[in-house]
A and B are shown apart, each in its own frame.
Chain A
């Protein structure tokens, strides 16, 4: 008897697995789309040749993954960067804008990290509950097919309800994941990228200040003055250039962030409403049938 039930449920199982796959696919597609749009909107990156090749080349791109050596290089680079970052961050910035941004980004990044983790846990619990609905539905079905009293009709109707409601709950979980968890994850990485940008600017500021000191020393000793002057000028240019673009990037970051949150929060609320209304309708029509039966 159990095997028969399982066989009957097989098409449902297949559907469930494909629904899961579809949900994950949707998610991945969305993430990629956001990434490409960002690159396309960037004034400098959009002109990059690699980007054009990616968009236009209509045959297979043979992208090589990082080999061991490259991965090791990355690892060391990160180590150096974080160590350096600590040193560099000790330097106080004269510019108010950047000083504000630095404090803001530090706090924001940590909080977004926390929110992203908690949102993940929340969506996972939602999914577990939806899975439970599934098991309850099949248990009720088994009860309904085996019962000989009038309650069997009840069981079968409620089992059907749980099956349908389970799909809605699974979609709620998937949508929360897409609109909330993914948003937060994305801005976690964005805020990290912004922090990295600030680090690079601070690095270049330190270099500039070091070059200034070197120039003063050279002038005092009257040795290699020209070399020191050129070096200082290069550092100055670099610093000013990076400051300018960083400022623009950070302003853009804020605009984009606000727009993305707005879009996602609105969509989240709309989807939650849609699903809650769907659930409500299912429940109410089931109750009407059951109450009519009594």
Chain B
């Protein structure tokens, strides 16, 4: 029997848990300890491995695939645990509520430390090796830049082309440094492909920047004013952050569509991304249908972790929205302040001109100059307020929407499983009826159908467990990223505030003697 392996349910996320366990103040402590106390809960470890080959559009049933990049180094650990755990009965009961337990931390701790020195017991691609090691060290040797927006074409058919530059030492790419030209719809197309492949199995796919009909029309029409340059810059920065987030994801980085996007000079145009296309309308209809469905699914959540996490994300979403609104207000007021300071500077200069006392006149002109410099300062600060702080918040608001989507997919998966069980039950009842009525040909058909639905139930259960595992891992990774991102951004933002104050001090220190010189 081939070695069974599967990814540990709380891959990278568990690392964070360990740190937090030491602090003694983490939520996970309580979750984990309650689970530790229930050793008799069935473990999924003995199920035949699941995983998805990254090249297919969905999970392949009952195939031991070694494509997954996470499973390998922890294989030893999971095997140890699975050998000890009780054999699990395939669930065919009418109440599908598996208690999916994370593997207890104590068993994982020891092998975890060794994991970096273990040479992978399974043969797999060198590239995945590199990525895995780098993922453990949290260093991804790939840098993406989006630059040089250029208007291509004329009139309403015009569009902006951006240069996407990649610098990497990963061997899965043909070169170490290369760049291509892409337009906005190409980015949307990439996201659409990744979302179709990965969202429904539990991966948090970073959302692409939003479309803006007003903004784009201004650019197309050729308005060369500051608002359209601002729009283009905002979009360029957003596209860059989008790609950087996408390549940080170990699974997505391996996707051939992503590679093609980064490397190949010609890309087929993604027409389905247009809002008013047939595909666009279909998307809107599907979204509406999904929303209705969500309300009607009643899932027996046996795993408190998921419920807690969903609530946490809901709270986080609300708080981030509030903060984002306040920061946007700050950006607006700072821009106003900058404009008003500039107006005052001009006015003070005029006043200085009409003042007939020479020294005072000079001092007023100096004041006007100081205020002009300060207005520039305010403008730069507003710029930082926006690009550093505000945009991060709006990125995360959209990311959390993607996280919520992933949780919803899990519910749908559960629904599918549940439906399969209901159908199986019906088929069994039908068979029993046939037995009584003694119709041999119908009985055979009923037996076939039962076999068919038994398989579907098994698949449904596997899928559900798989998505649950993936989500746990993804959420762990997401939380780590979130903490890192916010720390970096907040510090960068505070540094921008420090710079502004230092400049202010310089300007006023230069003005003070001028004011004192008025005789």
Give A contacts to B, CB under 8 Å.
104, 107-108, 111-112, 114-115, 118-119, 121-122, 124-126, 128-129, 132-133, 135-136, 139-140, 142-143, 146-151, 154, 158, 161, 165, 254, 257-258, 261-262, 265-266, 268-270, 272-273, 276-277, 279-280, 283-284, 286-287, 290-291, 294
Cross-chain contact of B483 among A129, A150, A280, A291 (Cβ < 8 A)? A150
With CB as the reference atom, state the residue of chain B lying closest to A277: B505
Q: Output the least CB separation between B479 and chain A (Å).
A: 6
> Are the C-beta atoms of B329 and A132 separated by less than 8 Å?
yes
Q: Can you give 27 A-B contacts (C-beta < 8 A)?
A: A107-B354, A111-B353, A112-B351, A114-B350, A115-B347, A129-B337, A132-B326, A132-B327, A132-B329, A139-B319, A139-B322, A142-B322, A143-B320, A146-B316, A149-B479, A150-B483, A154-B487, A154-B490, A161-B494, A254-B356, A254-B357, A258-B518, A265-B367, A269-B512, A269-B515, A273-B512, A290-B494
Cross-chain contact of B344 among A115, A268, A273, A277 (Cβ < 8 A)? A115
> Are the C-beta atoms of A122 and B354 separated by less than 8 Å?
no
Q: Which chain A residues border B360 with CB–CB below 8 Å?
A: 257-258, 261-262
Q: Which chain A residues border B333 with CB–CB below 8 Å?
A: 125, 128-129, 132
Cross-chain contact of A135 among B19, B326, B348, B516 (Cβ < 8 A)? B326
With CB as the reference atom, state the residue of chain B lying closest to A106: B354
Cross-chain contact of A118 among B23, B337, B340, B512 (Cβ < 8 A)? B340
Say what secondary structure dominates the interface of chain A.
helix
- 12 further interface pairs, Cβ-Cβ under 8 Å (given A118-B347, A122-B337, A265-B515): A107-B354, A111-B353, A128-B336, A148-B26, A149-B482, A165-B497, A262-B360, A266-B516, A276-B501, A283-B497, A290-B491, A294-B487
A132-B330 contact in complex given A258-B357, A280-B505, A283-B494, C-beta closer than 8 Å: yes
> Are the C-beta atoms of B356 and A104 separated by less than 8 Å?
yes
> Are the C-beta atoms of A265 and B363 separated by less than 8 Å?
yes
Q: How many residues of B contact A (CB 8 A)?
A: 61
Determine whether B124 belongs to the interface, using a CB cutoff of 8 Å to chain A.
no
Q: Output the least CB separation between A3 and chain B (Å).
A: 15
Q: Which chain A residues border B312 with CB–CB below 8 Å?
A: 148
Complex CA gap A108/B367 in Å reads: 17
Complex CA gap A265/B363 in Å reads: 9
Q: Which chain A residues border B357 with CB–CB below 8 Å?
A: 254, 257-258
> Are the C-beta atoms of B498 and A280 separated by less than 8 Å?
yes
> Are the C-beta atoms of A125 and B336 separated by less than 8 Å?
yes
A151-B482 contact in complex given A146-B319, A158-B490, A265-B363, C-beta closer than 8 Å: yes
Q: Output the least CB separation between A192 and chain B (Å).
A: 15
Q: Output the least CB separation between A200 and chain B (Å).
A: 22
Cross-chain contact of B363 among A118, A261, A287 (Cβ < 8 A)? A261
Q: Interface digits, B232-247 against A, CB 8 Å rule (1 contact, 0 not)?
A: 0000000000000000
With CB as the reference atom, state the residue of chain B lying closest to A116: B347
Q: Which chain B residues border A272 with CB–CB below 8 Å?
A: 504, 508
> Are the C-beta atoms of A158 and B329 separated by less than 8 Å?
no
